[in-house]
Structures are given as C-alpha cells and as structure tokens.
Structure 1
Amino acid sequence: MSLDDNALHVSARSNDAGKLRIAAVGDIHVHEQDQGKWTDFFKEVSEKADVLLLCGDLTDTGKEAEAEVLAEEIKACTIPILAVLGNHDYDHDQLKKIRKIFSKTELQLLDGDFTVIGNVGFAGVKGYGGGFDKYMLGMFGERLNKDFVQEAVDESLKLDAALAQLDSEHTDMKKVVLMHYAPIKATVEGEPEAIHPFLGCSRLEEPLNRRNVVVAFHGHAHVGTLEGETSTGVKVYNVSKPVLQQAGYETPYFLLEV
C-alpha cells in the first residue's frame, strides 16, 4: 500500500489559540487482567488533549488477548489515537491478529506512513536499536550483525519517506514524529550504558533534523530521561510510562501544545 493510500485526514478539536494539544505516553503494557483499568485514563486524556499518541509496547507480551483488552478500553477515548508498535508487541508473533483487532477500533497504527490532524502532520515508525553517535554499530562483520544494523537503516528510511511525502502534499505543515525506540542518547540516559545499543539508534535522528520536525516522542527506555534534543535542536521526549511517573506525572501522559 502506498503512502497516499495510508495517509488519513482526521478532524480534531483545537484550543482557542488554534494549537493542537498532544498527549503522549509509551509502554502502557496492557495485560489480560486489565479490564476497566484504563477507562478513566482515556476519559481524562480526552478532556485534556485533542489527540493521543501511544509510543509502542501497547501490550505486555504481544498476545491477541491483551490487544483485545486494549481495544475495549479505548472505547472510552473520544479523541483520535495514533500509535506505533513496540518490541513487546512483537513477542508472541501475533502481529497480524493484533493489527486486525486495532483496525476495528479508532486507534490508527503508523508504520512508515502519516496522518494529518488539524494543522499537524504525524509520521510514525517503530524504530530499532543500534547505538548512538560514535558508538553506533556499523554494517560490518557477521550476517546477524549486518541484519541488526539494516533494521535500523530500514526504519530510518521509512520515517524519512513518510516525512518526505508529508512535505510534498502539505507544505509548511508542522511535523510531529512518534516512535518506540529512541533517536538520541540524551533520553535514554539513566539506563545502563551496556544496553544503550538496544534502546535506540542515531540513524533515527537524521530524518528529524533534515525534515524540520517540530517534536518527536518515543518510549522503550523505562529508566531514561524525559527530555532531550537532537543536534539541530529538535525536541525529543521519552514518554515511557515509568519515566513519566518518575517525573511526577500522577496520570501518566505528557501534554504539549503544537
């Protein structure tokens, strides 16, 4: 399916200043026993924001039953929901079933495509690991190592293609990115350095800089840092639920006007 086929225009509320209120959280890890647990969360977010971003690890272990619970819970949400998948959502190899479940809800999964809401364009990918800056892994050595690096390259290219298509169809539109893995090192600081290569990759940063993205959101690093920025000053927020809770957010979502 082409990017044109995947692009979706969604109407949303905006505040009096004409800005879009974006709520974002990652790593909600919905369990099979979570029936009713998230209803109040989605109701509150619907009152405070115009769009909700879920930055991966929607389910705890990627089981169909977990996705079904989340599908039921998000019925309480009355604003558009955009999401990307995370590594936990892949764990039981039930992606087709998970995607089918969410396709019947108001939640839209992004994977190298984009959506326009109000005056903001949203592009999303899962992302991948590979390390940061001068410690980023190179395309060298065993085939398994090359495959690992190639996955991050492919995710970066998917993101760049979505942003390029957004630029071509909607000039001067503000661009927001959601992903699961981190595009910069600053927002995984706090995690052991030994696992940094598995938390994100600098290859994801390049499209953010070159395509003039306003802000990017990610999750995955549960003991990371809330805020950072790319080498050109693009704001990046780690909105993993544990990070938000550690930062004092009683109801775990980050709110930003764009």
Structure 2
Amino acid sequence: MSRSPDPAPAPIDGNGAGRLRLAAIGDLHVVETHRHPYRELFSRISQEADVLALCGDLTNFGKTPEAEILAEDLQACSIPVVGVLGNHDYECGQPQEVTRILHQAGMRCLEGEPIEVNGVGFAGSKGFIGGFGRYMLSAFGEAEIKTFVQASIDETLKLESSLRMLKTERTVVVLHYAPVEDTVVGEPQEIFPFLGSARLGETIDRFDGVRCVVHGHAHRGAAQGKTPRGIPVYNVAKPVLNRDLGIEFALIEV
C-alpha cells in the first residue's frame, strides 16, 4: 500500500492505461451535520489515482440526508468510483435508497455486479460476519444460527458469482467486512467473529488473477494482511489509515 458461461461485466473508462492506480478508503461515516466533508479529498484523489474504491460505512446511519451529502461531494471526483455498502449504511433499513443516491452521483455499486476499468476487474460485496479458522461459526443447531450462517454464505456466493463473471487478468476485490484474521488484529479478540469471515478469503483464493483485496470495518485492526494463498489484503478503514499510516487514503498500484 502506497502512502501518498456468465454475462460479461460492462467496462467503464478511466484515465490511464497499463498499471492502474487504485485509491481506496472505507468508513467515512458521513453525518447530517457534515458540510462537504470529502469534496477536497475526492478532488485530490482524482489527481493521484485512476479509480476510487469506497469500502462501506459511507454514512453513519444510512439516512437519506447523509447519503445526499456524500453524493454531493462525489461530484468532485473525476475518476471512476466503485464501492460497497457497510453495516452502518443498513441501519435505517433503506440500503437500496442509499445505493440509488450514490449511484446517481457516479458510484458503481459492486454488490454482485462486477465492472472493468482499463482492463482491471472489480468484484465485491458487503460481506458479513462469522469468524475465522477453527472458530468460524457453522450452520449447526437452532434455526436462528442456521439463518445467521446462511446470511454469511449468501454474501460469499454473491462475491463468487461476481468473480466468475470477470474475465480480466487482474482483479481487485472490494469488501466491507474482513476476509482474513490478519487485518482485524488489534481489535479486542472477543469481537473478531463480528468483524469478518474466513469464507470470503477462501472464496477469493479460488480465483486466479486477484491482485489485492480492500476492506474496512475494523477501525482498530491492522493495515495489511494476506489470504492463505498469499493475496494482499488491505484494511483501508479511515481510522486505520489516519492513525497507523498517517495518510488520508490508500494508494495501491494494480
């Protein structure tokens, strides 16, 4: 991470060719009292990157005014924007409306719908919780547990479907929840199962061409990790970038 037979996804145009400069950030948590909180940042990102990935928790409560404030600032972004929602964006029970507002402002939501930018594929989903390794929750016992686990599986299947649709040699995965335990280290160990799921990482490792994964959610987690197969995973939650790396956004060459 730098400091400073399925239908094919529709390509969109970017600013460059060859190596792609990816800016990534998550956990913006826009609130109603903010006024143009990210306009200047998005303008600067447009000068330094070819595409921007937003990794969920874009609003604080999923309220319409919060989404509209962020959408207004996104007008300052002159490069393609892709993204996923986070758990905070679901709080008011209207994630479709948040998605609609941000889509109108230019963000392409990756929830099961991959796209290509300059020959690089982008696949993503919000992801979900469930835990890692031997402590990953399994669908056993009460119906409530099975429903919970099925929600995690459904998010993984959404990501898998997106990855299968891409035919690019280079792919970036965009999530909100962590796909590996590495990047949640630093959080209280008791809440690890609520920060992500190894099912996501296992799915990613089944596909060739994935160059990196970006996610948010773990505000006190670690900045970098790897899938079992060795694919780089970057926790780009804004608090991690600001506190641990002293930067405002991640800049990754793909």
Q: Normalized against structure 2, the TM-score is what?
A: 0.94
Runs of 4+ in 1 over 6 A off after TM superposition: none
Matched, 1:180 2:176: yes
Identity of paired residues, percent?
46
Equivalent residue number for residue 204 of structure 2: 208
- Matched position secondary structure for 1:76: coil
Q: Deviations over 1:102-152 (max 9, x none)?
A: 231111111012010002000010000000011100111111111111111
Q: Which residue of 1 aligns with 2:64?
A: 64
Specify the code of the residue in structure 2 equivalent to 1:150. Answer: Q
| Contact 2:84–2:110 (Cα < 8 Å) also in 1 | yes
Structure 2 match to 1:14: 16
Deviation by residue 1:217-237 (Cα, 9 ceiling, x = unmatched): 000000000000011100000
Q: Secondary structure at the match of 2:205?
A: helix
Q: 1:207: Cα distance to partner?
A: 1.9
Matched residues in 1 for 2:11 and 2:214: separation? 21
- RMSD of aligned Cα (Å): 1.3
- The 5-angstrom pairing of residues 37-186 of structure 1 reads 37-167=37-167, 170=168, 173-186=169-182
Deviations 1:180-218 (A, max 9, x none): 000000000000111111100000011211102110000
What is the DSSP-based 3-state SS (H/G/I as helix, E as strand, rest coil) of the residue aligned with 1:236? strand
Residue segments in structure 1 that go unaligned for 5+ positions in a row: none
Q: Within 2, Cα distance between the matches of 1:11 and 1:29? A: 28
Confirm or deny: 8 A CA contact 2:24 2:236 kept in the other structure: yes
Alignment-derived partner of residue 222 in structure 1: 219
| CA distance in 2: counterparts of 1:103 and 1:177, whole angstroms | 19
| 1:4 to partner: Cα distance | 3.5
Instruction: Quote how far apart the aligned CAs of 1:8 are.
Output: 2.5
Alignment of 1:237 with 2:239, yes or no, is no
